[in-house]
């Protein structure tokens, strides 16, 4: 590819990547890495896990590139893959939690409590961490539209397309998510 790779559309880059041009897929990753990371981090609340899931998202996107329709926007397509990766991660985490409860309680007494005392003054960074955790604790049905709309800045129509729901449902779910998030952060 030439140095004018910014001139290529996402669809053209996808076609070039399918033809074996690794630099084309690298450019797609460069364009969409930050928004996908923010989406994943907003969905799960853990920055380290978000890095891994972002990488998994791009690996899955590369494998599924043949199913991408170049006439459509790449961002909602890869956002959908990222959301599915987050859902898979949550399911695996729930299974691990279930198994962890099967371990004898005596084993758990040696584990230190890493929670922050409530009376400790919170810095801006702590407030952001708390908000991320609260967002991650929201039910998926309202968390995903909130993250896509408020954090990623997708339009209501794009969010509806990514999630396969109506625009009105997006509006309603975002409103409910914001109300629940406000209540969670107020407590």
* Domains in the chain: ranges and CATH: 8-103 (1.10.1740.10), 123-187 (1.10.10.10)
Count of C-beta atoms within a 10 Å radius of residue 177: 22
The 10s digit of each residue's pLDDT in 80-118 is 999 999 999 988 887 777 666 655 555 555 555 565 444
Report how far apart, in Å, the C-alpha atoms of 14 and of each of 19, 23, 63, 72 are.
9, 10, 12, 11
Distance (Å, whole) CA 158 – CA 160: 5
* Model confidence, pTM: 0.60
Task: Please list the rounded mean pLDDT of every run of 10 residues in the chain (187 residues).
Answer: 67 91 92 94 90 94 92 91 92 74 55 52 67 86 89 88 92 92 84
**28, 43, 69, 68: which is closest to 135 by C-alpha?**
43
Report how far apart, in Å, the C-alpha atoms of 129 and of each of 40, 57, 135, 150, 187 are.
14, 23, 10, 17, 15
């Amino acid at each position: 590819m030439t140095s004018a790779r910014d001139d290529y559309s996402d669809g053209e880059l996808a076609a070039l990547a399918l033809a074996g041009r690794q630099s084309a897929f690298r450019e797609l990753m460069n364009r969409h890495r930050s928004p996908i990371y923010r989406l994943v981090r907003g969905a799960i609340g853990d920055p380290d896990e978000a890095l891994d899931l972002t990488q998994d998202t791009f690996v899955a996107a590369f494998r599924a590139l043949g199913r991408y329709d170049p006439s459509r926007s790449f961002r909602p397509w890869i956002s959908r893959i990222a959301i599915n990766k987050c859902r898979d991660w949550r399911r695996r985490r729930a299974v691990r939690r279930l198994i962890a409860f099967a371990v004898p309680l005596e084993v758990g007494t040696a584990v230190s409590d890493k929670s922050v005392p409530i009376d400790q003054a919170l810095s801006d960074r702590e407030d952001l961490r708390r908000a991320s955790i609260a967002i991650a604790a929201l039910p998926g049905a309202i968390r995903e539209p909130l993250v896509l709309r408020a954090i990623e800045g997708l339009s209501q129509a794009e969010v509806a397309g990514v999630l396969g729901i109506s625009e009105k449902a997006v509006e309603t779910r975002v409103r409910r998510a914001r109300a629940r998030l406000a209540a969670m952060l107020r407590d």
